[in-house]
Structure 1
Amino acid sequence: MSRSVPWQEWLSTGTEAVQEEVVRRYQATPEGVAYLPAMIWGTLQTEAYATVILGQVVEFLGIPDDAAAGVAARMRRQRVLYDGEHRYDVVLGEQALYTDIGGPKVMREQIDRILRDIDLPSLTLGVVPTSARVNMHPVHAFNMYGDEVHVELVSSGLTVTEPAEVALYRKAFARMREAALHGDAAKDLLRTARAFWDGAS
């Protein structure tokens, strides 16, 4: 079964309530999975990066501007990385390291943050190189919380709970993960991106 809720309905009071809902979901799910081809996973975002993202959401959807409160909630969600009770398997596309969110300074700080946390016991982080051969047609970003998948569409948030559909998302994630670089090889991609933003004006 799938359930779609329009963002303008879900975010009718602003971003904070939804961010708090995500915090609760993360706290209740000991193990999570995320695939993001073109942006940084929210639980690894710096405050500056998240401020740009949520500001864009507010402007695009025309919802009440409580972006600062939404960012504060997103920062609280990141505690799960350090509490010793949660584990996350995350795959980013290399493009996520180059999508300009906020300019060079924000991107440098963001990549430094990832390099700082990449070896956390709670985190397995892979990066799919842009030129990688992937045994999977290009797919959108998604997050998995146990037996539930959440997909952020342009107009709505989609929650997938039908077991057969969830199984396809697991299969897709496994293929993206297989194509990703981990450990030192992933750090090399991060450092190359950091050097790019060093040289950007």
Structure 2
Amino acid sequence: MTSSVPWQQRLSTGTEDIQDEVVRWYQQTRHGKAYVPSMIWGTLQTEAYATAILRRVVDFLEVPDDVPAGVAKRMERQQVLYDGEHHYDVVLGEQALYTNIGGPTVMRGQMERLLRDIDLPSLTLGILPSTVEMPVVPMPGFNMYDNGRAHYELVSTGVDITDPTELALHDKALAALSEAACFGDPAKDLINRALVFWRNG
């Protein structure tokens, strides 16, 4: 089954309510997975990066401006990385390290955050190099929650997929992307290279 609700409807009261909903998704998910090709996964975003992202959401969709409250909820959601009860397998596209969100200072802080958290026991973080041969057709990013739901964030709407056959294809795609990604020291090398870029920027 596939369902969708337009962002302007979901965000009709601002960003805090939907961020609170996402907090609950993460708290209830023991094993999450994500592929994020061109920005930093929300659960690893710094406060400054998240502020820049939600500011763009509010301005673009022209919804009520409660960015500080939405950011506070996004920071609350990140506690799942430290409570010892959850695990997340995440593949970022190398482009995510270079997509300019908030300017060089914000991006430097974000790269430092990735380097600080990459070895967390709750996290398996891979970076898909931009020059690696893609093992699947290029696709938008998605999150998976305990293999029961895949979630996409599109321009105008959020889409949820719950059909088991479709979810199995998402698992297959994520496994292929993970196989092509760098982990451990090679992933750190890519993040450090981006950090040097932003320091010089």
TM-score by length of 2: 0.99
Q: Secondary structure at the match of 2:65?
A: coil
Letter in 1 for 2:164: P
Which consecutive residues of structure 2, in runs of 5 or more, have no partner in the other structure? none
**SS of 2:24's equivalent?**
helix
The answer for the alignment partner of 1:160 in structure 2 is 161
Question: 1:188 aligned to 2:189?
Answer: yes
CA distance in 2, matches of 1:135, 1:51: 33
Could you tell me which runs of 5 or more consecutive residues in structure 1 were left unpaired when the two chains were aligned.
none
Structure 2 distance, partners of 1:194, 1:117, is 15
* % identical equivalent positions: 63
Q: Give the letter aligned to residue 48 of structure 1.
A: A
Q: Supply the RMSD in Å over aligned alpha carbons.
A: 0.4
Write out per-residue CA displacement over residues 14-45 of structure 1, whole angstroms, 9 at most, x where no aligned residue: 00000000000100011100000000000000
1:92-171 matches, within 5 Å, as 92-146=92-146, 147-171=148-172
Q: What's the CA shift string for 1:43-66, capped at 9, x where partnerless?
A: 000000000000000000000000
User: Residue 198 of structure 1 corresponds to which residue in structure 2?
Assistant: 199
In structure 2, the partner of 1:65 is 65
How many residues in Structure 1 have an aligned counterpart in Structure 2?
200
Which aligned segments of 4 or more residues in structure 1 are displaced greater than 2 angstroms? Answer: none
| Cα distance in structure 1, aligned partners of 2:178 and 2:152 | 18
Distance in 2 (alpha carbons) for counterparts of 1:126 and 1:133: 15
The separation in 1 between residues aligned to 2:85 and 2:18, in whole angstroms, is 23
Q: Normalising to structure 1: TM-score of the pair? A: 0.99
Cα distance in 2 for residues equivalent to 1:164 and 1:11: 30
Residue 134 of structure 1: CA displacement? Answer: 1.9
Looking at structure 2, the residues matched to 104 and 118 of structure 1 have their Cα atoms a distance apart, in angstroms, of: 21
Q: Provide the rounded CA distance (Å) in 2 between the counterparts of 1:175 and 1:70.
A: 33
Match of 2:74 in 1: 74
